[in-house]
């Protein structure tokens, strides 16, 4: 029996709460073996990002080729990629290897508000990576930024933005409602034929560092285990909600602390 295996292509978070570190914790928590390709290094903690060092694009590609030439990758999660040259290399490599599932989290801004994607790389993200994606997972500000529009203010606007994002070639869009308001955090899974609203109670906590990274990784973990997209998204939403609810068990750093990836275990 093949061990379910997922690959994250993302940036490293030196404080361990987001990025590659959060992705690998998520895979492990959900019973999936995790491999990683580091596209960027960040000097980062719970208060913010103080530096970004992009890994040379050709070395990003070398990491991808090394992983796929040996491991049976069930799903790929793409997070922070930092620069257009890396996006081009990632797109070319994934086109060569043709993974079954690609979850693209269009990471542009950190929880702290620091920008993580160069503005000139946004177009490359839209034109090179979005057409390869099984699902993209923008939050409300990221969805608006990808479209060059205002932030959607209601369900109708969210659904309309989801359909405009589908036009870039991805097969599904999950617009996350964590930046919205109200007692519930509602995510919207938009496909060409259907929109599904997924609600969870909004948790009052400052410890939300790495939430977006971890949700997209949880979706990739479900896909690697053979779940269909809607089930993978539902299970990921349930798991991330519990990880946020348990976040205050931690006292880590002095800013936006991490969620509790291993809440089921301790």
Is 174 within 8 Å of 104 (Cβ atoms)? no
For residue 161 the two structure tokens come to 């933005």
Q: How far apart are CA 219 and CA 229, in angstroms?
A: 8
Q: Is 212 a catalytic residue?
A: yes
Distances (CA, A) of 138 to 107, 179, 188, 243: 8, 11, 10, 19
Which of 177, 213, 237, 257 does the annotation list as catalytic? 213
Q: How far apart are CA 17 and CA 110, in angstroms?
A: 11
Which of 19, 162, 212, 257 does the annotation list as catalytic? 212
Buried b (16+ CB within 10 A) or exposed e, 213-224: bbbbbbbbbbbb
Which of 74, 79, 211, 237 does the annotation list as catalytic? 211
Closest CA to 57 of 90, 80, 86, 93: 86
Which of 17, 74, 210, 222 does the annotation list as catalytic? 210
Q: Is 225 a catalytic residue?
A: no
Q: How far apart are CA 217 and CA 22, in angstroms?
A: 8
Which of 176, 180, 222, 257 does the annotation list as catalytic? 176
Q: Is 170 a catalytic residue?
A: no
Q: Is 208 a catalytic residue?
A: yes
Residues designated catalytic? 176, 208, 210-213
């Amino acid at each position: 029996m093949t061990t379910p295996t997922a690959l994250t292509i993302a940036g490293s978070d030196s404080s361990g709460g987001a990025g590659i570190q959060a992705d690998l914790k998520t895979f492990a928590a959900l019973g999936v073996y995790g491999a990683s390709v580091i596209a960027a290094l960040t000097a980062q903690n719970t208060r913010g990002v103080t530096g970004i060092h992009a890994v040379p694009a050709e070395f990003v590609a070398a990491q991808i080729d090394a992983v796929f030439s040996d491991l049976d990758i069930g799903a790929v999660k793409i997070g922070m990629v930092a620069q257009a040259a890396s996006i081009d290399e990632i797109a070319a490599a994934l086109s060569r290897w043709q993974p079954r599932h690609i979850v693209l989290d269009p990471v542009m801004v950190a929880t702290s508000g620091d920008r993580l994607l160069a503005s000139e790389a946004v177009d490359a993200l839209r034109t090179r990576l979005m057409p390869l994606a099984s699902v993209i997972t923008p939050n409300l500000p990221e969805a608006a930024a990808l479209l060059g529009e205002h932030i959607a203010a209601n369900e109708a606007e969210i659904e309309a933005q989801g359909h405009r994002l589908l036009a870039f070639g991805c097969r599904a869009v999950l617009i996350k409602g964590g930046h919205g308001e109200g007692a519930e955090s509602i995510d919207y899974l938009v496909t060409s034929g259907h929109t599904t609203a997924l609600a969870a109670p909004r948790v009052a906590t400052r410890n939300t560092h790495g939430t977006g990274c971890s949700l997209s990784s949880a979706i990739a973990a479900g896909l690697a285990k053979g779940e269909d997209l809607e089930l993978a998204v539902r299970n990921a939403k349930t798991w991330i909600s519990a990880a946020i609810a348990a976040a205050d068990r931690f006292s880590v750093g002095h800013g936006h602390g991490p969620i509790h990836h291993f809440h089921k275990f301790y």
